[in-house]
Amino acid sequence: MAVLPTEKHTSPATPHTRGGFGGWLLDPKRRGALLVTPAIAILFVMNIFPLMWSFGLSFFNYKASSQRVPRFQGLENYQDVLTDDKVWERFQTTAIIVGSSVILQLIVGFLLALLFAKAFPMRRIVLMLVLTPMMLSFVSVGVFFKLFYEPTFGVVSYVLNKISSEPFVMLGSPEGAIAGIVIADAWMWSPFVMLLVLAGLVSVPKYLYEAAEIDRASKWRTFRTITFPYIKSLLLLAVLFRTIETFKLFDIVYIITEGGPGSSTETIAVYLYRTAFQFFKTSQSSALAYIVLFIVIVLTNLYLYAVNRRAAEVD
């Protein structure tokens, strides 16, 4: 089970004073640092070091497919990427997809949470129906949604063809293709939002509602003053995590539309993949990736700043 391994671990803190290196290391002053070390060490080796490596690469003109000795060229890659119209187009597409998908996830996730906030017989089982989508692989979600949309074989198309006289070709237009991707992604991840919101809803002490009932507070007022404060921070966490993850959306797009029609659904993650792995512009793709990272960091910080400020105001 999840938590058992923790108990096997010997505590790094001992009350006895020892001499030498061991004593120095186990000094209570350093306890915090000591506890953080394993996490930082693994992160350093597996994440931070490769990140720095590709950061270095981004200043060269290295191509993984070429034997030429890489030449240092300063900020040229960054300049190239930032002045490339294609890149801006990809960013816009990504913004549209991330924006609409996260909003849809919030709405659907919230509604589902309301549905499951009440206790009812067999809730545990019914809830599993809704939780399952996020346990599927991106690949299988992409493949089957593509099949659902397929004009001849697809279930969705079949049903819609019965209603309308025009054959249903969802992925034939840029708007339809974006909708197709957003629906698949939102379907998969709304349960995640639901889980967080639900956790908030369930935690509201019942006596607060009873008090509200006695005060004859309106439903909206009850929601705003009692329910919302409990789910707010979780909702914010959901937005944060889903935005970060959706920004990286790759497999679903690549499988459902491959960026088409034309380049209308090509997200920055797909473009990055092409530059790095199909075009072998290793250095340039590193530069682009760092720009993406920078944007995500700025967005996250703005977001956290806004949240904290609001929290300060409320307090």
Partner 1 sequence: MKTPNLKRTLMGATILAAGLNAAPSFSADITITMAAPDWPPTRFMKEHFDQTYTSPDGHTTTLDMDFIPWPSFYERVAASLTSGEQKYQMIVTDSQWLGAFVEGGYYLNLTDRINEDPELTAIMQDLHPALVSAYSTYPHRTRAQLEEAGVVPAPGVNYYGFPQFPDTYVTFYREDIFCHEGEMAAFQEKYGTNLPCTYEDWQDTDWEKWGQIGEFFLREAGDELAGETLSEPFYGIAYQAGKGYDFSTMQINAFIWQNGGDIWDESKAPEAQAEGVVNSDAAVEAFDQYLSFLQYMPPVAKTGQMDIFVEQDLYMQGKVGAIIDWVGLGEPVLDPNASTVHDKSAFGPAPGTRKDDGSIDRTGNIGGQPFVLTTWNSDEVVNEALNVVKWWLHPDTQIEAVKNGGQSGLMSVMASPEYNDLRPWNRAHVEMIDWQKDVWHIPEFFEMLTQQQEEFDKAITGQIGAKEALDAVAEFQQELLEDIGMIE
Partner 2 sequence: MARKHREIGKAGWGYTAVASVIGFIYFFPVFWIILTAFKTRTDALAVPPKLIFTPTFDNFVSVFYRASITTGTSQATDMGLYFFNSIFIAFTSVGLALIVGTLAAYAFSRYPLRGNDTYLFIILTTRMMPPIVVIIPIFLMFRLSGLAGSYWGIIFLYTAFNIPFSVWLVKSFFDELNPEIEDAARMDGATERRVFFGFCIPQILAGLSATFVFGLILTWNEFLFALLLTGVETRTVPVAMARTLGGEVGVDYGLLAAIVTLFLIPIFFVTFLLQNQLLRGVTFGTVKK
Footprint (CB under 8 A) of partner 1, residues 271-300: 274, 277-280
Place of tokens 């034997």: 67
Out of 97, 171, 235, 268, the only residue in the binding site for partner 1 (CB under 8 A) is 171
153 counts as binding partner 1 under rule CB under 8 A: yes
φ/ψ of 72, rounded to 5, equals: -70, 130
67 counts as binding partner 1 under rule CB under 8 A: yes
Out of 6, 11, 17, 152, the only residue in the binding site for partner 1 (CB under 8 A) is 152
Q: Please, which residue, 176 or 200, has the CB nearer to partner 1?
A: 176
Out of 167, 221, 244, 306, the only residue in the binding site for partner 1 (CB under 8 A) is 167
Window 87 to 116, contacts with partner 1 (CB under 8 A): none
Sign of dihedral through CA atoms 20, 23, 29, 30?
A: positive
In whole angstroms, give the CA distance from residue 100 to residue 113. 20
118 binds, among partner 1, partner 2, none (CB under 5 to 8 A by kind): partner 2
- Given a contact cutoff of 8 angstroms between Cβ atoms, the answer to whether 57 and 258 are in contact is no
For residue 142, give the DSSP letter: H
43 binds, among partner 1, partner 2, none (CB under 5 to 8 A by kind): partner 2
Q: Please, which residue, 31 or 80, has the CB nearer to partner 1?
A: 80
- What is the end-to-end Cα distance of the chain in Å, rounded? 39
Cross-strand partners of 72? 60
Task: Provide long-range contacts, Cβ within 8 A and 24+ apart, for 150-157.
Answer: none
Residues 6+ apart with CB under 8 A from 139: 251, 255
Out of 95, 232, 240, 260, the only residue in the binding site for partner 1 (CB under 8 A) is 260
Least distance in angstroms from the C-beta of 255 to partner 1:
9
Cross-strand partners of 60? 72
Cα 294–Cα 297–Cα 300 angle in degrees, nearest 5? 150
Least distance in angstroms from the C-beta of 275 to partner 1:
9
260 binds, among partner 1, partner 2, none (CB under 5 to 8 A by kind): partner 1
Q: Please, which residue, 128 or 136, has the CB nearer to partner 1?
A: 136
- Given a contact cutoff of 8 angstroms between Cβ atoms, the answer to whether 66 and 280 are in contact is yes
In whole angstroms, give the CA distance from residue 312 to residue 147. 49
Give how far Cα 164 sits from Cα of 2, 64, 145, 171, Å: 51, 51, 20, 17
66 binds, among partner 2, partner 1, none (CB under 5 to 8 A by kind): partner 1
Window 37 to 66, contacts with partner 1 (CB under 8 A): 64-66
261 counts as binding partner 1 under rule CB under 8 A: yes
Q: Please, which residue, 97 or 231, has the CB nearer to partner 1?
A: 97
Which residues make up the interface to partner 1 (CB under 8 A)? 64-67, 146, 150-153, 167, 169-174, 177, 257-263, 274, 277-280
